[in-house]
Amino acid sequence: MSKPLSLEKYTDTKTFYVGRRLKTDPAAKRFTGPFGSVDASGDDCRAAGWKGDAAAIVPWTIAEELLPFGTWGIVTKVIDDERVDALFVWRSQGRITASKMTELHCSNFVTSRGGPPLIGESESLAGVHATPKVAAPAPVAAPAVATDADAALDAIRKLIGGGAAPMDEEALRRAVKDQLDPFRDAMQPVMDVLASLKSDPLAKAKIVTAVAASKNPVVEYLSHFYTVGHEAVANVCLAAPPSIGKTFAYRQLGKAYDVYLEHGCTADSEEINTMLGSTAPDGKGGFVVFDGVLTQAVRTASTGKNVLLLLDEVLRLSEQGQVWLLTFLTGVKTPDGKKYRLRTRRVMADGTLEVIECAAKHLHIGAAVNLGARSPNEAFWSRWHHHRLPFDAATVKNTALAFAASFGMTAADDLAEKFTAAVVASRSAVADGSLKYSLDFRALENALEWSARIGSLTAAVICAAIADSVEARCAHWGIDSGETDVASATSVSLVKLALGVR
């Protein structure tokens, strides 16, 4: 019988190891400290020891829902004394969702002892610290050729004393083989990629090209400047009207990287500290330092992982924030290439602040801005390669097609054309003052998400969902009553008509 769960939070990772099952704090409402997330496939889950249906795994999208706390995860990497990478699998809205969380602080977990398995797991894998139950198989002939399982069996013999104790070797050999096969299958795609890298030096560029093959012209443009594993040609700053697809394009590009990080910039006077890191009481009379997103990006890239960091709405930074950041963006030239160097908030043993660095080929930085009346610091502005995305119907249609493709819609021309017509109509109404806001891609994304959840991903259903939101999103309202202004009624009807809804 399993011992009860202790809700005491961890203070270090000394008892952690790859494969250990741990539970997030069920009383928490958000993770402590910064963290990243990477899409997790069924193969990733199977490689980590999950025994459910790999084809049923749906990658987690933070825009859809928050990770439910009290969820069981499995440690996939111990980074240092305080942080780990972990894979989470949970049931959500009738489906099985998975995600890899990177650089999670240990205090996000509560002590577990013999806890339940991840959802869908077989009983034999209820805990990796427990010995799997192996049924005695029928006798079979000994293998003629040594296998990985045989080599593992020899190692086990040595560990238990050279075979002095009685042991059903054939049963153990089968058990070892059963454990090795899923990992071998899961690693095969990785081995194929590594083999291609040896023979084709442009293989990494092909990864980004594959991302650019999505129907999004902005992603294609970005791919000319960013090639995974190589120094960026330039740090690109996308400038466009609100909700034209800037952030979406970087998120699509981010799928080619090991880690994608995103930070929404503000004019707050503490923004520099937010990006570097912050301190919090450790419960022992001292303090613990949590990395900010910029420190996390540099620290992760210093390990050789390829990281893409998006600084969204970067012109919201104060003058002081822009001046501070431009020094970092300049980088340091070394015989080994450009490096990014950063002084963090962690205090070293000698009383100085920690300095970390990473190769620029492993850290790519992008930005997105809404152009407005506020002028940026000239030197900061010069650190970016600027690409303006003026509004035009072709761009809207192509971006709409990319949004639809990200939800699995391959035939979405009708949807894209109607959405484009509705956006054009709403912008015209904003220009003549009859609407307060124009229709944007968030309306499309929300409608796609809703339609996908009800299992009816069609142009008619999606357009109807968008039409339902037009009045609340775009119309003027009375200050006292909150009701839609009469002057907006006609324009709301025209936008709905463009969507094919009367």
CB atoms within 10 A of CB 174: 18
Joined together, the tokens standing for residue 10 give: 């961890």
- Find all residues with CB under 8 Å of 279, minimum gap 6, and list them: 287, 288, 289, 290, 345
Joined together, the tokens standing for residue 23 give: 């539970």
Q: Which residue has the higher pLDDT, 158 or 298?
A: 298
Distance CA 330, CA 328 (A): 5
Distance CA 53, CA 307 (A): 30
Q: Which residue has the higher pLDDT, 483 or 343?
A: 343
Joined together, the tokens standing for residue 38 give: 């990477």
Quick one: pLDDT at residue 296? Answer: 94
Query: Is the pLDDT score of 299 beyond 50?
Result: yes
Three-state secondary structure of 234-288: CCEEEECCCCCCHHHHHHHHHCCCCEEEEEECCCCCCHHHHHHEEEEECCCCCEE
Query: Is the pLDDT score of 218 beyond 80?
Result: yes
| Overall average pLDDT of the 440-458 stretch | 90
What is this structure's pTM?
0.55
Q: Write the pLDDT tens digit of every residue in 256-271.
A: 999 999 999 998 888 8
Give, in order, the Cα–Cα distances in Å from 482 to each of 400, 411, 472: 31, 39, 10
Distance CA 96, CA 59 (A): 9
What is the Cα Rg of the chain in Å? 26
Quick one: pLDDT at residue 202? Answer: 47
278 φ, ψ (degrees, to nearest 5): -140, 165
Quick one: pLDDT at residue 186? Answer: 54
Q: Which residue has the higher pLDDT, 170 or 312?
A: 312
Mean pLDDT of the chain: 78
Q: Write the pLDDT tens digit of every residue in 395-413.
A: 888 888 888 888 888 888 9
Query: Is the pLDDT score of 144 beyond 50?
Result: no
| Overall average pLDDT of the 58-71 stretch | 67
Q: Write the pLDDT tens digit of every residue in 454-483.
A: 888 899 999 999 999 999 889 988 877 778
| Overall average pLDDT of the 164-186 stretch | 59
Q: Which residue has the higher pLDDT, 240 or 158?
A: 240
- Residue 244's pLDDT band, with cuts at 50, 70 and 90, is confident
Query: Is the pLDDT score of 199 beyond 50?
Result: no
Q: Are strands 83-92 and 332-334 parallel, antiparallel or unpaired?
A: unpaired
Q: Write the pLDDT tens digit of every residue in 68-127.
A: 777 888 888 889 888 999 888 887 766 788 888 888 888 888 865 444 444 443 333 333
Look at residues 476, 219, 234, 224 and name the one whose alpha carbon lies nearest to residue 331.
Answer: 234
Look at residues 487, 486, 483, 459 and name the one whose alpha carbon lies nearest to residue 472.
Answer: 483
Type of residue at 76: T
Distance CA 306, CA 227 (A): 10
| Overall average pLDDT of the 424-434 stretch | 89
Quick one: pLDDT at residue 191? Answer: 55
Contact between residue 197 and residue 347 where contact means Cβ atoms under 8 Å apart: no
Quick one: pLDDT at residue 96? Answer: 82
Type of residue at 159: L
DSSP per position, 45-105: HHHTT--S-GGGEEE--TTT-PPPTT-EEEEEEE-SSSEEEEEEEEEETTEEEEEEEEEEE
How far is C-alpha 128 from the geometric centre of its chain's CA atoms?
27
Residues in the chain: 502
